[in-house]
C-alpha cells in the first residue's frame, strides 16, 4: 500500500487539459492520495469532472495583446503565483503536475519557488507553449506520443512516453468487441468536435450524408455534438433528409456513445485521439486548421499511418469528399473492423496508472515547514 500524500494538478479549462488531469486524479485518489485542482473559471466548473476534488481558481492572463496585454498578463500570473504559494503552505503537496494551459504556469512557478517537485504532461504531439516555457525547470516531462515536436533534445533525458490518460468508462470499452455491423443493419455514426464543438462538422456532415445512396442513408443513426449556434440548422437538415439524428451541445454519455459507434467523425484533439485508440474505433478526422503549431494534424499522424483513421484537411473537407470516404468505409464491414483493430493498436490503456507511478516517484524526502513559514524567496527565471 502506498503512503498517502497530497498532489496538486494544474490545468487550463478546456477538455483537452481537463480530461487527462481528471483521469490522473481518479487514479491517485484510488491509491489513497488527496488531490487539489488549480484551474480557471471554466476548469473548476467542467461538467462531470473533479466532483470530489477541492478546486482553486488562480489568476492567469493570456500572453497576447501587445505590450499592454503582456504587462497585464504578467501581473495576473504574479498574483496567481503568490496565491499558489499560500495554497502549498497549507496543502503541502508532494508534487505539482501541470497539464498545459495558462493557469498551469503560476502554479508551476510557485512550485519552483517552494522547491516542490514538478512534472508536466503534454497531451499533443507538439509540446505546448506553457510546457515549453517550464521545461527547463520541471523534474519530468510526460508525453503522449513517442515523437513530440518542439521538445528540445537536451530535455529528452527527463521525458517519459506515457500516453494520454482517459476516463475509466472509455478504458472499459477496450474489452468490448467492435459492434456487429450487418450489411442491412443500423450504421451508428458519432460526430463530435471536442469540448467546444466544430461548426464545419455541423455544416458539412449533413450535406455529405445527403449524397450517400438512399439505402445507406436510411440505415444511419447519428449522434452529433454541435455548437449552440449551429444545432438548430443541423437538426433541421437531418430532419429534411429523414436521417435519425440526436443532437446536443454536450455529450455527458460520450463513452457510451463511443461504445456503440461504428464510425466517428471528429476533430483531432488530444483527448479525442486517445479515446478512439483506447476504445478501438475507426474515424474520419478533420484537424482544426488554426490549432497552435498545427498540433491536431500532428496528433492524427500515428493513428492514420496505422490505418485506424483517415485524415481530411479542412480545406478538402467537402460534402462530396466525405460521402466518398463514408462509402469506402461504410459499405465494407471488414474494412471497418480492421480499422478499429488498428486504432486500438495505437492505444495506451495504462496511461493513467503509468502517469501516477511517475508522479509518485517525484516525491523525494524534503523538509516540511510549519504552516505560514516560507521557503527562501526565489524569483522564477
Give me 115's grid cell: 522547491
pLDDT per residue as tens digits for the range 318-375: 999 999 999 988 888 899 999 999 999 999 999 999 999 999 999 855 444 444 433 3
Burial of residue 78 (number of CB atoms within 10 Å: 0-12, 13-18, 19+):
middle
Q: Where are the beta strands (DSSP E) in 126-204?
A: 140-143, 159-161, 187-192
Q: What confidence score (pLDDT) does residue 13 get? A: 80
Give me 94's grid cell: 508532494
Q: What confidence score (pLDDT) does residue 377 get? A: 34
Lowest mean pLDDT among 208-212, 222-226, 248-252, 364-368: 364-368
As a whole number, mean pLDDT of residues 57-84 equals: 75
Lowest mean pLDDT among 29-33, 44-48, 303-307: 44-48
Q: What confidence score (pLDDT) does residue 28 get? A: 97
Give the Cα-Cα-Cα angle 60, 63, 65 (nearest 5 degrees). 120
For 201, residues 6+ apart whose C-beta sits below 8 A from its C-beta are: 191, 192, 193, 224, 226, 265, 266, 267, 286
Q: Which residues of 30-50 are buried (b: 16+ CB within 10 A; e: fewer)?
A: ebebbbbbbbbebbbebeebb
Query: What is the sign of the dihedral through the CA atoms of 144, 145, 151 and 157?
Result: positive
Q: What confidence score (pLDDT) does residue 61 get? A: 59
pLDDT greater than 90 at residue 4: yes
Give the side-chain half-sphere CA count within 13 A for 78: 9
Give me 290's grid cell: 488554426
Query: What is the sign of the dihedral through the CA atoms of 357, 60, 250 and 271?
Result: negative
Q: What confidence score (pLDDT) does residue 1 get? A: 54
Structure confidence at residue 194 as a pLDDT band (50, 70, 90): confident
As a whole number, mean pLDDT of residues 155-178 equals: 96
Classify residue 107 by its DSSP letter: H
283-285: strand order across its sheet: 244-248, 220-225, 187-192, 263-266, 283-285, 309-311
Give the side-chain half-sphere CA count within 13 A for 66: 1
Q: What is the mean pLDDT of the chain?
A: 90
For 124, residues 6+ apart whose C-beta sits below 8 A from its C-beta are: 16, 144, 145, 270, 295, 296, 298, 299
For 129, the 3-state DSSP assignment is helix
pLDDT greater than 50 at residue 36: yes
Place of cell 496538486: 8
Q: What confidence score (pLDDT) does residue 227 get? A: 94
Between the two ends of the chain, the Cα-to-Cα distance in Å is 38
Q: What confidence score (pLDDT) does residue 193 get? A: 87
Q: What confidence score (pLDDT) does residue 371 get? A: 41
Instruction: Determine what percent of the chain is predicted with pLDDT higher than 70.
Output: 91
Q: Read off φ and ψ for residue 342, nearest 5 degrees.
A: -70, -35
Distance CA 125, CA 300 (A): 9
Give me 340's grid cell: 478499429
Q: What confidence score (pLDDT) does residue 46 get? A: 78
Query: What is the sign of the dihedral through the CA atoms of 178, 300, 345 and 254?
Result: negative
Query: What is the sign of the dihedral through the CA atoms of 162, 164, 168 and 173?
Result: negative
pLDDT per residue as tens digits for the range 71-92: 677 788 889 999 999 999 999 9
For 28, residues 6+ apart whose C-beta sits below 8 A from its C-beta are: 7, 35, 356, 359
Strands 220-225 and 118-122: unpaired
Give the Cα-Cα-Cα angle 349, 350, 354 (nearest 5 degrees). 150
* Other Cβ atoms within 10 Å of 328 Cβ, number: 11
- CA distances 339 to 9, 184, 276, 281, Å, are 35, 20, 11, 7
Give me 125's grid cell: 504531439
Amino acid at each position: 500500500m502506498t503512503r498517502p500524500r497530497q498532489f496538486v494538478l494544474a490545468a487550463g479549462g478546456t477538455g483537452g487539459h481537463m480530461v487527462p488531469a481528471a483521469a490522473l486524479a481518479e487514479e491517485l485518489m484510488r491509491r489513497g492520495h488527496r488531490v487539489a485542482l488549480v484551474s480557471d473559471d471554466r476548469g473548476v466548473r467542467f461538467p462531470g469532472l473533479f466532483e470530489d476534488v477541492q478546486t482553486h481558481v488562480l489568476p492567469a492572463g493570456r500572453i497576447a495583446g501587445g505590450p499592454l496585454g503582456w504587462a497585464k498578463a504578467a501581473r495576473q500570473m504574479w498574483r496567481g503565483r503568490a496565491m499558489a504559494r499560500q495554497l502549498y503552505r497549507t496543502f503541502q503537496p508532494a508534487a505539482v503536475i501541470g497539464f498545459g494551459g495558462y493557469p498551469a504556469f503560476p502554479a508551476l512557478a510557485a512550485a519552483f519557488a517552494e522547491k516542490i517537485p514538478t512534472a508536466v504532461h503534454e497531451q499533443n504531439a507538439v509540446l505546448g507553449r506553457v510546457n515549453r516555457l517550464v521545461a527547463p525547470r520541471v523534474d519530468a516531462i510526460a508525453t503522449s506520443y513517442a515523437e513530440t515536436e518542439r521538445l528540445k533534445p537536451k530535455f529528452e533525458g527527463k521525458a517519459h512516453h506515457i500516453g494520454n490518460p482517459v476516463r475509466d468508462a472509455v478504458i472499459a470499452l477496450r474489452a468490448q468487441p467492435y459492434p456487429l455491423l450487418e450489411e442491412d443493419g443500423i450504421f451508428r455514426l458519432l460526430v463530435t468536435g471536442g469540448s467546444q464543438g466544430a461548426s464545419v462538422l455541423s455544416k458539412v456532415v449533413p450535406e455529405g450524408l445527403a449524397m450517400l445512396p438512399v439505402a445507406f442513408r436510411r440505415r444511419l443513426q447519428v449522434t452529433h455534438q454541435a455548437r449552440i449556434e449551429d444545432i438548430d440548422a443541423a437538426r433541421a437538415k437531418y430532419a429534411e433528409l429523414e436521417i435519425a439524428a440526436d443532437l446536443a451541445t454536450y455529450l455527458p454519455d460520450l463513452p457510451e456513445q463511443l461504445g456503440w459507434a461504428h464510425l466517428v467523425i471528429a476533430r483531432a484533439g488530444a483527448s479525442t485521439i486517445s479515446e478512439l485508440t483506447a476504445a478501438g474505433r475507426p474515424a474520419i478526422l478533420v484537424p482544426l486548421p488554426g490549432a497552435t503549431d498545427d498540433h491536431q494534424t500532428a496528433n492524427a499522424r500515428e493513428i492514420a499511418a496505422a490505418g485506424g483513421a483517415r485524415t481530411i484537411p479542412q480545406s478538402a473537407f467537402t460534402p462530396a469528399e466525405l460521402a466518398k470516404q463514408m462509402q469506402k468505409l461504410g459499405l465494407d464491414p471488414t474494412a471497418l473492423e480492421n480499422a478499429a483493430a488498428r486504432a486500438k493498436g495505437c492505444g495506451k490503456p495504462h496511461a493513467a496508472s503509468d502517469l501516477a507511478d511517475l508522479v509518485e516517484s517525484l516525491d523525494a524526502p524534503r523538509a516540511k515547514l510549519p504552516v505560514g513559514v516560507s521557503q527562501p524567496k526565489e524569483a522564477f527565471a
